Each structure stands twice: as C-alpha cells, then as structure tokens.
Amino acid sequence: MRKTSKKSMLLYILLIVALLFIPVVIKNRYMITLVDEILVFIIAILGLNYITGLTGESNMGMAGIFSLGAYTSAILTLRTGVSPFVGILAAIPMGIFIGNLLGRPSLRVKGIYLALSTMMFGEIVRLLANNMVGLTNGSTGLRNIPHFSVFGYTLTNEGQVFYLYFAICLFAIFLSNIIFSGRWGRAFKAIRDNEDGVPSCGIDIAKTKITAFTLCAVFGSVAGAMFAHLMGYISPDMFDFDFMVKFFMMLMLGGIGTVSGSVFGAVIVVIVPEALRFLGDYYWLVFSTGMLLFIIFVPNGIVSLKDRVIGKIVKRNNSCGGQ
C-alpha cells in the first residue's frame, strides 16, 4: 500500500512538472488563454462540488456567484487602483456573504424549489449588473481591467499568467482534497446520504449546509475575480443562463463529488468545443449531442471510467495470482 502511495505521489509530481512546460511548448496565445480559463473553471467547479456533489443540494446560481466575484475585483481595482491580488482577496468576504445568503433558503426548501431560488439569484445579479450603470457600466461592461503585477512586474503575457493561476489552482485542489476527505467532507456526505439520521451523529444540519454553500461561494467568487483579470473585460451578458449550464456540464461530465472530476470536466468543456470549431455553425450541436450521449451512458462521469479500468486491472491480477 505504501509503495502504491509513493508511486501515485511520484506520478502527480511528474504530471505537475510536465504541466509547467505548457507555456514553453504551446506558442499560440489563444490556446494559452484557454488553458488559463481551464484553471479558473477548475476552481469554480471544485466550489460547486461542495454543495451539489458532496451535500446533494441544488445550486443553479453559480453564474451569479462567479459574476459577483468578477465585478467585486474589477470595480475595486479600476476605481481605487489597488492590486488585483487585493481584488481577489476582496472576493473572499464577498463569497462568505453570498454563501450565507444562499445557504439560508436551503434550510427551508429542497430540490426543484431550491434550484429555482438559486437560479433566480443568478438572474437578479445579472439584471442588477445590467442596470446599475454608474457602478458596473451596464451592458457596455467594464474594460481595461488591470493585469496582475508581481514585485512591480506586470504579467501581460498569457504564459506568465499561467504560472500564477496554476499555483492558485494547485492550492485549491490541495485544499479541496483535505476538505473532501476531512470532517467537513464526511458531514456533507452524511447530509446527502441520510439527512434525517444526521442529527443523531451530532451534526448540525443548518451549520453544515451553510458551510457548504459558503465554501462553494468563496471558490466561485475567487474564480470569478481571476476570470475578470484574465479577460480584461466583463459584461452582464457573459454570465447568462448558458454560462450556468456550462458549469453543470463540467460537473456532470467530470464526475460529481470528486476532485479529479472537476479537473476533467473543465478540460473537456473548454477544449472539445474548440476542437470542433471546424464544423462551423454545427459545432455546438455536435458537442451538445455528444455530451448528452456521454451523460446517458456514463452517468457518473469520466472519473468512473478510470475506476472501471483500475477495477478490471485489479481483478485480472487477482485471478492471475490465484492461478
């Protein structure tokens, strides 16, 4: 078991080292931007997994959470001239506020009613961003959102931004692994699997649900802030219903309730449509049809395929050992 653990750790280290060469190998600026987007979306899906994957609650307001993080950092940096790092830090208390705000309805409503209430939250945020022209510049959006700077050096190149975002994403994955397998993660899963029996285990349902929503919102807000500084421009139309659907596609395709699923889901939903661009106007139809079939035949996501392969290998080794 210890040998397997060491091999897995070595494999992860080699993978991380290999990923560090992405900006060196890929020279196309657009492709590097897509990779940066993937890193941002991984963080957002990790957050969504806390509430939808682990706790089993419906949260269709992720686009609203993401946009509030984006606008918080963008407005703060544009209006006050503070560093984008301060803008990202400001997205954390915003996420805590949103998490507590959205977590309250989950104590009273469930299922489709909670899904609708969180969806309405996302739509309200979009409409406010569209109409608060003095603050958000309305439908025109916010332009020239400043880039990150480290020790006075501005990161204007997509490859330079990659290393910063890669470091933040690695930290988010590391933190999520701890939470998923820790006390909070076990409490979230207990509520998902048997909410009625949870109080007998000494778990405070209200506090645990609000904690899950808060983690979801903090991750989503930070991801939104990173997105704003990556794009350099945001507008309300960017965070519409389709944007919310994209988050759920990432969650379902990768594998609900898993850290690795968040990574796979983000990669698939960003890269595959780009690979199908040669189909012209039909690329999104082909992608959507393919994803629908994938979800039907592989309902537990791409992570389940990995588990199946590993299971077959173990079974084959056991049968060979028995002979």
Residues 269-281 have a mean pLDDT of 88
3-state secondary structure of 206: helix
Using alpha carbons only, how large is the chain's radius of gyration in Å? Answer: 21
pLDDT value for 1: 41
Please provide the average confidence, as pLDDT, over all residues in the chain. 86
At residue 43, φ and ψ (nearest 5 deg) are -65, -45
Q: In 10 A of CB 146, how many CB atoms?
A: 18
Band (pLDDT 50/70/90 cuts) for residue 148 is confident
3-state secondary structure of 157: coil
pLDDT value for 3: 46
What tokens does 180 get? Answer: 């998923």
Q: In 10 A of CB 85, how many CB atoms?
A: 16
Stated as kind and residue range, the H or E segment containing 149 is strand 149-150
Q: What is the DSSP letter of 35?
A: H
Residues 307-311 have a mean pLDDT of 60
CA distance 285 to 273: 10
pLDDT value for 323: 53
**Would the pLDDT of 7 be above 60?**
no
Model pTM above 0.85: yes
Residues 32-44 have a mean pLDDT of 94
Q: In 10 A of CB 294, how many CB atoms?
A: 16
**Would the pLDDT of 320 be above 70?**
no
Band (pLDDT 50/70/90 cuts) for residue 322 is low
* pLDDT tens digit sequence for 157-205: 777 889 999 999 999 999 999 999 899 999 999 998 888 888 888 888 8
Q: Which of 225, 164, 216 is nearest to 36 (CA)?
A: 164
pLDDT value for 2: 45
Going through the chain in order, the beta strands assigned E by DSSP cover: 149-150, 153-154
Band (pLDDT 50/70/90 cuts) for residue 321 is low
3-state secondary structure of 91: helix
What tokens does 271 get? Answer: 């890269």
Q: Are strands 153-154 and 149-150 parallel, antiparallel or unpaired?
A: antiparallel
pLDDT value for 279: 87
Cβ contact 35:21 at 8 Å: no
Band (pLDDT 50/70/90 cuts) for residue 64 is very high
Locate the domains of the chain by residue range: 30-322
**Would the pLDDT of 11 be above 80?**
no
Number of H helices, E strands in the chain: 14, 2
> Of 4-13, 179-188, 278-287, which gets the smallest average pLDDT?
4-13
Compare 151 and 1 and report the one with higher pLDDT. Answer: 151
Cβ contact 291:253 at 8 Å: yes
Distance of CA 220 to the CA centre of its chain: 7
Residues 96-124 have a mean pLDDT of 87
Domain 30-322 - what CATH class? mainly alpha
